Amino acid sequence: MQTPDQNSGTYCPLVYVKPNVSLPFVYKPFSGFVIVKIKINKNGATENQIVVESTHRSIERSAVRAAQKLKFRPYIVDEKVVEIQNYYFKFNIQY
């Protein structure tokens, strides 16, 4: 089964929530990223959010919370709605 590729822009979230970063990072220039592995269920909601990689450990929790709120269009293969296992979503964070 072929899964969507986020980098190609073919499968973007319908609902995107920006991670809420703690105040110490907001007051100085900051940039980083967190890659979260998620499962997208048949309704387009995310499950099993796991941090795979990040530039700063202190922003991981807010990225996981944001990933829990992402909502995708249900993915259809051969006219059937299917779950997507192991989808990697990257949050780029800049202040």
pLDDT on residue 43: 93
* pLDDT at 13 exceeding the cut of 90: no
Q: How far is CA 21 from CA 9, 15, 52, 57, 83, in A?
A: 25, 19, 18, 11, 30
CA angle 89-90-95, nearest 5°? 145
pLDDT confidence tier of residue 23, bands split at 50, 70 and 90: low
Whole-angstrom distance, CA of residue 73 vs CA of residue 94: 27
* pLDDT at 2 exceeding the cut of 90: no
Query: What DSSP state is assigned to residue 49?
Result: E
pLDDT confidence tier of residue 22, bands split at 50, 70 and 90: low
Query: What DSSP state is assigned to residue 71?
Result: B
**pLDDT tens digits for range 32-87:** 899 999 999 999 999 999 999 999 888 899 999 999 999 999 888 899 999 999 99
State the alpha helices, DSSP H only, in the chain. 23-26, 60-69
pLDDT confidence tier of residue 93, bands split at 50, 70 and 90: confident
